[in-house]
Each structure stands twice: as C-alpha cells, then as structure tokens.
Amino acid sequence: MKIAIVLVFILGIFGSCQSMRPVSKERHVLDIPQKIEQKNYYPESSRINYYLTQSILFAELGSRFYVRDELETAKRYFNLSITYDEHNSKSLFALGLLAYREGKVDEALKYFKMIKPGFVQAPYDIDYYLAAKMLLEQFPIKASVISLTRNDRSDIRENIIVINKGKNQGVLPRMRFKVCRIGNPIRDFNSFRVIGLQKTQVAEVSVLELEDEHTVCKVDKVETGCFIQINDSVESIIE
C-alpha cells in the first residue's frame, strides 16, 4: 500500500474523531508548565488515576488544535500529555505525524515504535498501534534508478538520477538515499536454498526535485571505483 494513501486514510480518521471537533474561533493557549512535579496529596491509586486522566485530557486538547492546523500549540499539548503518561498512544502517534510532516522521518519512526498494543482511551479512537505498524512497514522506502538524466536532452554530466518513487509513495523533500548494486544470489550450501542477494553500496543521493510519482536526486557521493546505472536499487537512509 502506498504510504501516501495510508497517511491520508489515517489522517482522515484521526481528524474525524468525536474528540477532535474544532473549538471556538477564539484563540486559547494555556501557560503550560515545562515540568510536572508529582504531589503526595492523594493515595497512590488516586495519583495514578489523576495522571492518566490528565494525559488523556491534554491529548484531546492537542487533537482539537491539530484539526485547526495550529500545529505548534497541538505539539505542546501532545508533549505535555506524554509527560503525564509516556504510553499515551494517541499523543505518540500524533507527534509521529507532526514530525513526519516536518520531514523528520527518523523522529517520526521513533514515536511510532514507542506505541504499544492494547492502549485504547476512547471507544471512537482508532487502534494507534495498528496504524503505526502500517506506517512502519512502509520504511525504508525502496525504489529503482530509472534515468541518469532529467530527460533525453539533459547532459549526463549534470550529476543527477531519477528514481521511480515520489510524493505519493512517501518521499519527502529532505530525504537521502543509498544506491546499491544487486549482485549474485547468496546460497546456503547445506540446504541449497537462495537466502539472499549480494548488495554493494555504490553511491548516496538526496532529493533535488520531488514529483508525485518520481524524484530527481542529486548525486552527493560515489564510492571509489563505482558508478550508478539504470535499475540500481535505491533505499531511504534512516538516521
């Protein structure tokens, strides 16, 4: 499944939840404390319930500002939510989406990986663990080199390549890729099964021009004695 379709589907559900109906047009931004100090005013069970409740409430507030596209305010509330409860999957998922929108793929994947199964805080919420799993399965983004020039009239000395994945497949403007040459099969001589393929990295490239179904990449580095050719394998680099 294309990552863009997955994201649109999840964002649609995420934005349509009952808890995310827009607040009034008047702007409300609370003075949010940076650190939460635990108080001993209540029995242990009450304190645990209090922190879980606070986490859920701040996640709901973050959701409301998210659908208003006030993303910085939303991010503050989601971060506050996981300060109260580090396992709040709704807030972790939202922070992952926000990081992805900013082109911070490695940070987004970190948040998605933190989501644990079995956490449901409201009956109208989606299964954030399953949603995160769907997104994680799309990475790293894999593609192929389809051209060594922009078009037939371009000079090959332009030092660019074109790959067959673009915005619709989840490629972002600041992404980097490694280009690899796929070689001979790797065979297990005990079972005579092919268990893999030889892979040699030949170059590193970065996004130059991003289109819906393809990407023009600038060649940043070519390994000594190597060169890029059509059909070479391309894989996104996760820092």
Q: Which of 14, 133, 13 is nearest to 78 (CA)?
A: 14
Supply the pLDDT for residue 124: 63
Q: Does domain 142-236 have CATH number 2.40.10.410?
A: yes
Distance CA(206)–CA(147), nearest Å, equals 15
Residue spans in the chain of domains classed CATH 1.25.40.10: 3-136
Across 13-17, 73-77, 115-119, 192-196, the highest mean pLDDT is recorded for 73-77
Residue spans in the chain of domains classed CATH 2.40.10.410: 142-236
Higher pLDDT, 155 or 111: 111
Query: What CATH number is given for 3-136 in this structure?
Result: 1.25.40.10
Q: Which of 166, 20, 171, 168 is nearest to 100 (CA)?
A: 171
Supply the pLDDT for residue 41: 42
Supply the pLDDT for residue 125: 76
Amino acid at 198: Q
**Percentage, residues of the chain above pLDDT 90:** 49
Distance of CA 181 to the CA centre of its chain: 26
Find all residues with CB under 8 Å of 204, minimum gap 6, and list them.
Answer: 176, 177, 178, 179, 219, 220, 221, 237
Higher pLDDT, 172 or 77: 77
Supply the pLDDT for residue 21: 45
Is 2 in contact with 135 (CB distance < 8 Å)?
A: no
DSSP letter string, 174-237: T-EEEEEEEEEEEEETTTTEEEEEEEEEEEEEEEEEE-SS-EEEEEEEE-TT----TT-EEEEP
Its pTM stands at 0.63
What pLDDT band is residue 157 in, cutting at 50, 70 and 90? Answer: confident
State pLDDT tens for residues 220-229.
Answer: 999 999 999 9
